[in-house]
Amino acid sequence: MSMPEELEKTANSDRTATGFPAADGSMRFAWTLTPSPLTDLVKLVIQPVNVLPVIFVPGIMGSNLKSRKRGTPVWRLDATLGQPLGLLRKLSTKDAGERQSLLHPDETLVDDDGAVPTSAAGSIAGKSCYKARGWGEVGETSYGAFLLWLERTLNDPGKRHDRGWMHALRPAFSDLSGPWGAHRPFAPCLPAEVEKARNWFYPVYACGYNWLGDNALSAQRLKARIEHVIEIHRQGLGRCEQVMLVTHSMGGLVARACAQMDGMAEKIVGIMHGVMPATGAPVAYRRCKVGMRDEDYGASLVIGRTGQEVTSVFAQAPGALELLPTQKYNSSWLQVKDPSGNDLLPPQPDPYERIYAVKDRWWALFKEEWLSPREGVPIRWKIVKANIDTAKQFHTSICDRYHSQTYGFYGADSKQKSFEHVVWRMKVGIAPGDGTAKAALADVMCMPPRQQVRMDGVSPEFVGGQRVTQIVPSAMGASVMQYETSHYELHASGQDGGGDGTVPISSGRAPAAAANVRQWFALKGFAHEPAYKDDTARAVTLYAIVKLTAQAKEPHRAGL
């Protein structure tokens, strides 16, 4: 008999309902209706319950935010027809200045009043319980379906007798190495591990954070949430000493920082990371230069169509800056190539001082004029520099550091085009008719982003020249034609690698080499934002939960 068959037989041999402790410490039981011929009794087991809360930590832009002064939503990811149409309507008409004023880390707080389910699921009785679990803090469109799946899978009545676990985990019982693209020798699930996992209660929580602010501050918020959740589940018959973290994207950076705080490594049994930009993502730089319009026009209406719109928020947001390529990323990720394909920019091993904090070169991260958009709140350069220093400090603090029980997956799909590099390609432009001499290529690299390099926040940008408007006569009357003259055109090339569309393979794969990482999976078939909607990603998550539960400390309480 195979391991799954053995477990299924054991799982269906009896019908018992183990209660779960409510927030007030009382025991609650639930059971689904069964066919009328099934008349055997369901035993209600009243006993101390081992509780291992699962806390989900979302990615950047995945937490709802509100105005600190007015309390009104400024970033709310509630679903309308499955999409955040309310947020789209709110931001699609905002220019750079309005975005800068609206989305400032000092002027925003986590908004816990986002949409949540209204019907019961798993151990959650209704709307107030979802709110208490923090589900209203995170985006319904991105995470609502996954959180429901996780709660139901882990805590639905009769789950210990459900074949869903066995179906999802079937590849995990294989003795063959490498299911799900495993990077390390694969440790199959053991029947004893699955049986132990069934004997725990896993209330599913979410912990939003202000993704505009420093992730070190967000880690402090997560720490407070962990301690609060543990205390809640030590009431009555509940026994709880640790939690488990499941993260998406930048939430993984927050969780790693939290695990390094005093006493937190022991309170976190382990972390399951999904699509984490472990060493950063060059696309963050690219969006500050040319916006997101040529990547995804619909998303750009929210995130920013042009470099001006993205920069106006990005420069004042340490959390966003912490997604830039770190000192561990390939030092040649930013490239400038002349018309013959020769490299003009040498590798930059210190991107903070040589790319991000440079303000007098067109290829640097920020164009200084874009820091003071009309109707915005101007950002002084010394504030920008301080934010860059904060990002560097955060990167250094978590560099190569992982919880001792770490699992994760990343997108390794060649069909999900991603930016491994950002490449500026120079092309000879339409010569201007103003008599100016063409600059030497070396001089172009030293030009600031002002008069000599015309930067409008979209690709291409232009060296010299001007926009020409001509009236072209025709048989139908006349038409207006516009074109750009320049000595050179500067084109920001498209995606050049695989990944998940946002995090390139090299960054997603990086943790696989870390000593504390127990397993890291290379998956395909999904994009970055909806990664946890993928069935394989969910199966990997369930596998990690089983493995981490096997490492959990058996809680104890005096007198029990």
Ordered by start, the domain boundaries in the chain are 43-275+528-551, 283-325+349-397, 429-492
C-alpha–C-alpha distance, residues 376 and 18, integer Å? 56
C-alpha–C-alpha distance, residues 285 and 502, integer Å? 12
The 10 Å Cβ neighbour count of residue 499 is 29
Residues with pLDDT less than 70, the chain: 1-14, 17-27, 29-33, 45-48, 157-168, 173-178, 557-560
C-alpha–C-alpha distance, residues 541 and 270, integer Å? 12
C-alpha–C-alpha distance, residues 102 and 313, integer Å? 9
SS3 assignment, position 177 = coil
User: In sequence order, what DSSP letters do the residues of 294-316 get, joined into one string?
Assistant: TT-HHHHHHH-SSHHHHHHHHTT
C-alpha–C-alpha distance, residues 417 and 415, integer Å? 6
pLDDT at 346 (0 to 100): 96
| Residue that is written with structure tokens 């440790």 in the block | 187
Q: What is the dihedral of CA 247, 250, 253, 259, to 10 degrees?
A: -30
Whether cis (ω within 30° of 0) applies to the bond prior to 460 is: yes
Give strand pairing partners of 37: none
If phi over 0 gives left and psi between -120 and 50 gives alpha, with beta otherwise, what is residue 422? beta
Give yes or no for a contact between 527 and 170, defined as CB atoms under 8 angstroms apart.
no
Q: What is the dihedral of CA 324, 327, 331, 336, to 10 degrees?
A: 40
pLDDT at 6 (0 to 100): 47
pLDDT at 125 (0 to 100): 85
**What is the 8-class DSSP label of residue 477?**
E
pLDDT at 169 (0 to 100): 72
Pairing type for strands 422-428 and 488-492 reads antiparallel
Give strand pairing partners of 517: 406
C-alpha–C-alpha distance, residues 340 and 414, integer Å? 28
